[in-house]
Amino acid sequence: MTDIKEKLEKIRQQRNSRSRADRIQGIWDKIEKSEDVSTRDKLKRLIELTQQEKKPRHPQPVPEPQPREPFKFFENQYNLETKYGRVVISSGLDIPGDILACLAKDEAFKELDLSTALFLDLETTGLSGGTGTVPFLVGLGYYRDDKFYVSGFFLGDLAEEEGMIEEMDRFFREMEFQSVVTYNGKAFDLPLLETRFILNRRPFVLGGLPHLDFLFPARSLWSHKFESCRLYHLARELVGSFREEDIPSAEIPWRYHQYLFTGNYDLVEPIIYHNQEDILSLLAVVVLGASILARKDVENLGDALDLFGAGKIMEKLGDMEKTMDFFNQALKGGLPEELSLLTMKKMSYVFKKNEDWDKAVFIWKKLTQEKKVSAGHLFSFRELAMYLEHREKNYEEARRIAEEGFVVSMETGSAFKEDFSRRMERLKRKIRGRSH
């Protein structure tokens, strides 16, 4: 049956084509007989007459834009006992200032807590940067009056940005925030918002506040654990919020521009939901990161990989005592082979720097004696050979270790083989010199 329908449709199209061709031929014959003009003019006349046969197309009506507010402020409240995923919202108030200072790498946080902090997240008209990028949604989170508020300023008309900036300025001053918490805010959110304030001739009171950009400690804590450290991904994996990527980030500017054209608020409601989820997710991951550093409920909230991440944070701060403590606990907790090797390498270098030779040598010997060695183990052969040569003057044993390292470097194609080759030759000369 389908074949018959297709054949009939094809015949109909062919018939229409022949009919049109016949009509064009008839018009041409009339022009040829009645008009004594050039062939070029005849063809021009043919085109005019055949185009007149086409039915005029009626333009599609453009819907009238719906009325919209210039800008508006919205606010949602959460009781402190409310849970977002596995995190109780009140937990943010329990984070001490010294932990916040470690996360932010800013001593100013030692005198602060999150009761006076502003959680900030922007949605913008694009990611190109510069004065052409406008934050049309400024998402805010803060503790007040035994509640956690998730609020926002939404710009309904780009021409009204100055008015919204004025209201935000008044809001920031009245709330007297003492710090700012963001996710990638140092590179994006705060510089962009400050630019808009400057362009609208307003001082930016948030600019001088202590700033915890949690993207950086999050990478230290979890980049070795998860494929992505995007906020929504961490919220799903760590917080258990089960939030989906409700709207792709690339779609947000398009939705807003469509809203400006149509006034259809349904287009931006998913953006507002997305922004509110980001504020709550940010609070939750900060709580979990702080819990790991403070060692609160590590058995339930963290594991060896988290402890390794905490060690990386302390290492960057230069607090080697806490670094070694976290690394040691991570090793006891059972790290994957590659991270275990990296952790022992880091620890041995700290012992070496402090001239705690017994502990450093213990690690190097342990690694050189493992049944399965790889290119990652070669540092231990080199360090042990150096120690035996220069500190113990045990040239025979140093040469033996260097030879083992040379074999491993040959098997693994490591550049260490040149180092071991030169070391063996030097040790041979020292051994011959001692025998004479």
Question: pLDDT band at 242, cuts 50/70/90?
Answer: confident
Q: Can you give the length of the chain in residues?
A: 436
Q: What is the CATH number of the domain that holds 233?
A: 3.30.420.10
Residue 436 lies in a domain: yes
Residue 257 lies in a domain: yes
Residue 80 lies in a domain: yes
Asked whether residue 61 carries a pLDDT value surpassing 60, the answer given is: no
Residue 30 lies in a domain: yes
179 and 288 share a domain?
yes
168 and 314 share a domain?
no
229 and 269 share a domain?
yes
Percent of the chain with pLDDT over 70: 80
Residue 16 lies in a domain: no
Residue 231 lies in a domain: yes
- Averaged confidence pLDDT in the chain: 87
Question: pLDDT band at 21, cuts 50/70/90?
Answer: low
Asked whether residue 76 carries a pLDDT value surpassing 50, the answer given is: yes
274 and 327 share a domain?
no
User: Average pLDDT in the 73-83 region?
Assistant: 96
User: Average pLDDT in the 400-405 region?
Assistant: 94
Q: Tens of pLDDT along 350-379?
A: 999 999 999 999 999 999 999 899 999 999
179 and 236 share a domain?
yes
Asked whether residue 24 carries a pLDDT value surpassing 70, the answer given is: no
Residue 417, pLDDT score: 87
The number of distinct structural domains making up the chain is 4
Minimal CA–CA distance to 359: which of 342, 346, 374, 372?
346
208 and 278 share a domain?
yes
Domain edge (last residue) among 294, 314, 331: 294
Minimal CA–CA distance to 65: which of 216, 258, 298, 226?
258
- Give the separation between CA 118 and CA 177, rounded to whole angstroms: 6
- Give the separation between CA 323 and CA 310, rounded to whole angstroms: 8
Residue 1, pLDDT score: 47
Asked whether residue 11 carries a pLDDT value surpassing 70, the answer given is: no
Residue 299, pLDDT score: 43
Residue 267, pLDDT score: 94
Minimal CA–CA distance to 243: which of 275, 218, 269, 221?
275
Give the H or E element holding residue 150: strand 147-155
Report whether 169 contacts 271 (CB < 8 A).
no
Whole-structure pTM value: 0.80
Residue 365 lies in a domain: no
- Give the separation between CA 333 and CA 340, rounded to whole angstroms: 10
Q: How far is CA 314 from CA 219, 311, 319, in A?
A: 13, 5, 5
427 and 319 share a domain?
no
- Give the separation between CA 312 and CA 398, rounded to whole angstroms: 32
Domain interval for residue 49: 24-54
Q: Of 137-146, 253-262, 292-301, 418-427, where does the model show the most confidence?
A: 137-146
Q: Tens of pLDDT along 251-299?
A: 999 999 999 999 999 999 999 999 999 999 999 999 999 999 998 654 4
**Pick from 24-28, 60-64, 238-242, 351-355: least confident:** 60-64
273 and 397 share a domain?
no
75 and 101 share a domain?
yes
223 and 81 share a domain?
yes
Residue 416, pLDDT score: 86
Residue 130 lies in a domain: yes
290 and 315 share a domain?
no
Residue 30, pLDDT score: 66
285 and 309 share a domain?
no
